[in-house]
Amino acid sequence: MPRTPSPDPPPGETLLVNKRKHPRQATSRVAFAEMLIPDDDPVLDFRPYRHKQPRGNSITPDVQRAFIYQLAMSGIVKQAATRVGKSLEALYKLRERPGAEDFARAWDEALEWGRLRLEDCALERALHQGAHDPQANAMLCWVLQYRGAHMVDSRQVRPGHWLWDRIHHEITGRWPDEDDVDGNEVRAVA
């Protein structure tokens, strides 16, 4: 049975294709299913690690981008690794290499997006199953309790609060307790 060629990707999107006749025969080099990866996704705004002498099984920048994208979609490292056809060991080894710091940062950010997506799915499932189902109730309570631990009430963010200090540092480049250039302490704006 002849295979029909895949359509060309829309402009601005990368199409990774498994070209094997039987997808189950794919090795790590060609294990991609057809995967559209948008270029404008902010989680993909990172500098991938570039191997000095890439081999056939190296984790290329396209594979790194696909992994980060899948990780943001699922929130599960093993699932994202499987989708791009790479082992967990190889990905963790790449993450720890000197020069792969931006890849590691994107990994952490994608994992956070995936975690939030999983929380939303659990919340939706619990609400859909109904308030009278004990299993759904337990899941709903867990999600709300876990989500509440990470939420910050904006009314509490004032000078001295960890989030205010972090935002201050990102804007000014100084921590609030550091001295000003003139020797004066940095004063918080209320």
Whether 1 is in a domain gets the answer no
Note whether residue 131 is domain-resident: no
104 and 42 share a domain? yes
- The CA distance from 88 to 5, in Å, is 31
pLDDT tens across 65-111, in order? 999 999 998 888 998 998 888 888 999 999 999 999 999 999 999 99
Could you read off the pLDDT of 5-22 as tens digits, one per residue? 445 545 555 555 666 676
Domain assignment present for residue 148? The answer is no
Q: Are 99 and 168 part of one and the same domain?
A: no
**Does the residue 124 lie in any domain?**
no
pTM: 0.58
Query: What is the domain range of residue 81?
Result: 13-114
d(CA 26, CA 13): 23
Provide the domain count of the chain: 2
Query: What number of residues does the chain have?
Result: 190
